[in-house]
A and B are shown apart, each in its own frame.
Chain A
């Protein structure tokens, strides 16, 4: 049987490294071209769901309670909150901005959500956050340009879409609240 090109790179990235496969990687190109094959391949071999968008691909773990995923959501929520507070253009900054780790360390320490950080193991203190950045980079959520600077990869949109879903869920839940009858 012939496998698509970069088969090993695709399986290694998605399954063994559990990372986002990103636009620009040759493995990503091959994956997109053979999206149907890989969707069924991962479903039948490992019972896992593959999500392919024009910018990134992800093999979902099937584990709804992932601590790392929670840490990423909390981190991004605080980051967006801070950007919004400063009147920055959130989407554009996340898309093309460069972030300085020491600078954001300072901002996070001063954040009004410091208690949320303290309650999250992987974001608890500067040491833990240092490891957190390493993991973000290994999983393809950020790209480190050097020791101190990083940029977000298109994978961050996966989490922004999650936030939009929360909002949409809230709106539809609000719409479904039955109106109490007056009599």
Chain B
């Protein structure tokens, strides 16, 4: 019956309050049974029957309820209704708080106030009473009730297990999965800008270790077959710096040497002070000193030519006498 109910019933789990009513009604019926010590057999059979029906009904309801909750939980898990994550989390929480936790406390055999414990006490009482002096028909009714009550423990234990092992973790997992999916969806709103977690990083610089010797040898060996390289020697930087041509100095010298018979002969004398590489440059400067201001000097060109060696060049120059 419970199984068929599970298949056909829509999601309408009983509220815990509805289930707790059974606690009161079973208690009442049992009290009436034990109070009526001198009951006529047919009346006793009737009351035992009432108790049987009520317990049976309670157990059916519990089984149906667990099944119904399980079904709803699985639907929630599969999300056929395409609910949003936040809604699913909300529903999972409601199922836990409103139905599953209270149901758990009803079927909890460890709790002295639970309906399960009440049924335990009744089972104990019935088992004791049935050994009284009863006609066979009453004994049959006791026997029937006793058998049902013997099943109670196992059955409630099973339901409690389903709740503990299936429902609660399943709902917790839905909650957890929904949290993860919600997080990913938030991440995917800004996938290239959102912060990301730190992960490991490959450290490419190798540390000293037992490989270092071999690495070093390999590094050195790669150069061993090479041809000797061209070596470049750099002269000290100071030697490269030459004093620049100083026009004022040379003009003074020129003025002092006037009159000159041979201008280039004088130049030759001046250039001995200058380093080899700079001589040609200085010579041209000295010439421009003379020709740059021709109005100051009287020049007389001789007929002879003479050779003037500067560095690798050879100039053929006339003899020039200079006077004021």
The interface of chain A, by Cβ under 8 A from chain B, is: 8, 14-20, 49, 58-66, 68-70, 72-74, 76-78, 80-81, 84, 87, 89-91, 113, 116, 119-120, 139, 158-160, 162-168, 170
Is B281 part of the contact surface with A, judged by Cβ < 8 Å? no
Please name the residue on chain B nearest to A170 by beta carbon: B186
The 5 tightest CB contacts between A and B, nearest first, are A163-B183, A61-B201, A18-B200, A167-B183, A77-B184
- Asked whether any CB of chain A lies closer than 8 Å to the CB of B46, the reply is no
B40 within 8 A of A: no
**Contact (Cβ within 8 A) B173 A166:** no
Q: How many Å lie between the Cα of A120 and that of B195 in the bound state?
A: 15
Q: Does the CB pair B78–A64 fall under 8 Å? A: no
Measured between C-beta atoms, what is the minimum distance from A165 to chain B in Å? 7
Contact B199 A60 (CB under 8 A): yes
Is the interface on chain B under 10, 10 to 19, 20 to 34, or 35 or more residues?
20 to 34
Q: Please, which residues of chain A bring their CB within 8 A of the CB of B201?
A: 18, 61-63, 66
Cα of A8 to Cα of B211 in the assembled complex, Å? 12
Q: Is the CB of A81 within 8 A of B182?
A: no
Per the bound structure, the CA–CA distance linking A20 and B192 in Å amounts to 24
For the A-B complex, the count of residue pairs with Cβ-Cβ distances under 8 Å equals 127
> How many Å lie between the Cα of A11 and that of B115 in the bound state?
59
Q: How far is the CA of A87 from the CA of B181 in the complex (A)?
A: 12
Please indicate the chain A residues that have their CB under 8 angstroms from the CB of B196 in the complex.
Answer: 64-66, 69-70, 73, 162
**CB contact between B184 and one of A66, A81, A89 (< 8 Å): that residue:** A81
A63–B199 Cα distance when bound, in Å, is 8
Query: Which residues does chain A contribute within 8 Å of B180, judged by CB atoms?
Result: 80, 90-91, 160, 163-164, 167
**Sample (22) of A-B pairs whose CB atoms are under 8 Å apart:** A18-B200, A18-B202, A58-B200, A60-B199, A62-B201, A63-B201, A66-B201, A68-B199, A69-B197, A70-B196, A73-B191, A77-B187, A81-B184, A84-B181, A90-B181, A116-B188, A119-B191, A139-B199, A162-B183, A166-B184, A167-B179, A167-B182
Residues of A within 8 A of B140 (CB): none
CA distance A74 to B190 in the complex (A): 10
CB <8 Å contact, A77 and B191: yes
Residues of chain A within 8 A of B173, CB atoms compared: 89, 91
Given A87-B78, A89-B77, A166-B186: A74 touches B191 (CB 8 Å cut-off): yes
CB distance A116 to B200 under 8 Å? no
Candidate in A49, A116, A139, A159 with the most chain B CB atoms within 10 angstroms: A159
